[in-house]
Amino acid sequence: MTASLADVVEILEDLYPPSWAESWDAVGLVVGDPDAQVRRVLFAVDPVDRVVAEAADRGADLLVTHHPLYLRGTTSVAATSPKGRVVHRLISGRCGLFVAHTNADVAAPGVSDALAAVLGLVDVVPLQPLPAEPLDKLVVFVPVADADKVLAAVTAAGAGALGDYDQCAWRTTGEGMFRPLAGAAPSVGTIGEVTRLEETRLETVLPRGRRGAVVRAMLAVHPYEEPAYDVLELASLPGDRGLGRVGRLPEPVTVEELTRHAAAVLPATASGVRASGDPLRVVETLAVCGGAGDSLLEQAARSGADAFLTADLRHHSASEAPGGLALLDAAHWATEWPWLADAAARLAAAATVDTAVSTLVTDPWTTHSRSPHA
């Protein structure tokens, strides 16, 4: 049961591509030699001293965390600072560190999918969907006998792929016409005479990034001197990826019941779960966002959700929550922790390594008291 660190990183970056991370984020391999062998991988939310000690106790060769170790630049990794100590401890314990943060937030499945799943949500869609991959459509008119050749060329250049299908195209036959003028060198027809002939109208989709390559491939094999073709930009559609999720609860519950349910299914923390508004309000649709979801309050209200569960909600944004949206504020660590098991299972399915999830509570809030007067 071993794999090289380079192989494990490749699998993790396939699940959570670094290009999906926000520009301010710091994701990917932080500590580790790509040639090192990996047998055990520990997943945790925070790369803090206690978690690194746990990784050493468990004999882990790699620690995968959600939160970055360094988010800003540093000029020292000396063990005189908490972060420097983490680097030292990891290296002396021959343990790598890999971070998947905002790239895991927007993945599908990602951090908020796992949160939605533990809460029991169904029919889950992104709360702030990212657009699906932009597509173009190529429409080209080609003599019937040359249609297969043109289709083969454009599909080889990246056109005609839809999900698990390739060579997808639509063709109809109709009549094309043209008149070659002086100076033309027509492959069919005569200068000065109108020519009519059967042509195939060939339509196929392509990723917008392949536009130049597909058009060049088509022009290279098209028999005409001046091929007629259209490149159409297809309207953008919401994709599967994005921040937050919204879905239906299996049955309607009150805010009070939902708060109790959330506190029971999320890992235990001192702060638990608190909610705003009328405790007897009925909730059918719930929006969620793992981690600090302040920025999604508007989207949560617009989504038609009755309530929004996230972490780190602030007084003013919560007081001014739009449209009577009930808010559930959970511990930041607890809302992200469910993702660890999901990520671990996906890595274990793709690599011959043992995986484990840290159960150390690294939420910074450790004590909570209700006022005796409440």
Interface residues with Zn ion (CB under 5 A) are: 291
Pick between residue 306 and residue 336 the one whose CB is nearest to Zn ion.
336
The phi and psi torsions of 373 (rounded to 5 degrees) equal -95, -5
Pick between residue 242 and residue 291 the one whose CB is nearest to Zn ion.
291
Q: What is the spatial distance between Cα 83 and Cα 65, in angstroms, rounded to a whole number? A: 14
Please report how close the Cβ of residue 293 comes to Zn ion at its closest, in angstroms.
Answer: 10
Please report how close the Cβ of residue 67 comes to Zn ion at its closest, in angstroms.
Answer: 6
Pick between residue 25 and residue 257 the one whose CB is nearest to Zn ion.
25
Please report how close the Cβ of residue 201 comes to Zn ion at its closest, in angstroms.
Answer: 51
Q: What is the spatial distance between Cα 194 and Cα 176, in angstroms, rounded to a whole number? A: 11
Pick between residue 253 and residue 361 the one whose CB is nearest to Zn ion.
361
Pick between residue 124 and residue 330 the one whose CB is nearest to Zn ion.
330
Element (H, E) at 343: helix 332-350
Please report how close the Cβ of residue 312 comes to Zn ion at its closest, in angstroms.
Answer: 9
Cβ distance 329 to 311 under 8 Å? yes
Strand partners, 143: 199
Written in H, E and C, the secondary structure of 59-77 is CCCEEEECCCCCCCCCCCC
Please report how close the Cβ of residue 46 comes to Zn ion at its closest, in angstroms.
Answer: 9
Please report how close the Cβ of residue 48 comes to Zn ion at its closest, in angstroms.
Answer: 13
Please report how close the Cβ of residue 27 comes to Zn ion at its closest, in angstroms.
Answer: 13
Cβ distance 154 to 160 under 8 Å? yes
The residue of the chain with the least Cβ separation from Zn ion equals 291
Pick between residue 291 and residue 338 the one whose CB is nearest to Zn ion.
291
Please report how close the Cβ of residue 145 comes to Zn ion at its closest, in angstroms.
Answer: 60
Helix (H, G, I), strand (E, B) or coil at 104: helix
Contacts of 110 (CB under 8 A, 6+ apart): 16, 104, 241, 339
Pick between residue 109 and residue 291 the one whose CB is nearest to Zn ion.
291
Please report how close the Cβ of residue 310 comes to Zn ion at its closest, in angstroms.
Answer: 10
- Residue 25: how many CB atoms within 10 A of its CB? 17
Strand partners, 172: 201
Please report how close the Cβ of residue 335 comes to Zn ion at its closest, in angstroms.
Answer: 8
Pick between residue 45 and residue 255 the one whose CB is nearest to Zn ion.
45
What does DSSP say about strands 282-292 and 238-254: parallel, antiparallel, or unpaired?
antiparallel
CA angle 62, 64, 67 (to 5 degrees): 145
Pick between residue 3 and residue 115 the one whose CB is nearest to Zn ion.
115
Contacts of 203 (CB under 8 A, 6+ apart): 137, 138, 139, 169, 170, 171
C-alpha 271 chain-centroid distance:
29
Pick between residue 38 and residue 243 the one whose CB is nearest to Zn ion.
243
Q: What is the spatial distance between Cα 301 and Cα 127, in angstroms, rounded to a whole number? A: 10
Give residue 18's identity as a one-letter amino acid code: P
C-alpha 47 chain-centroid distance:
22
The phi and psi torsions of 129 (rounded to 5 degrees) equal -65, 140
Strand partners, 292: 311
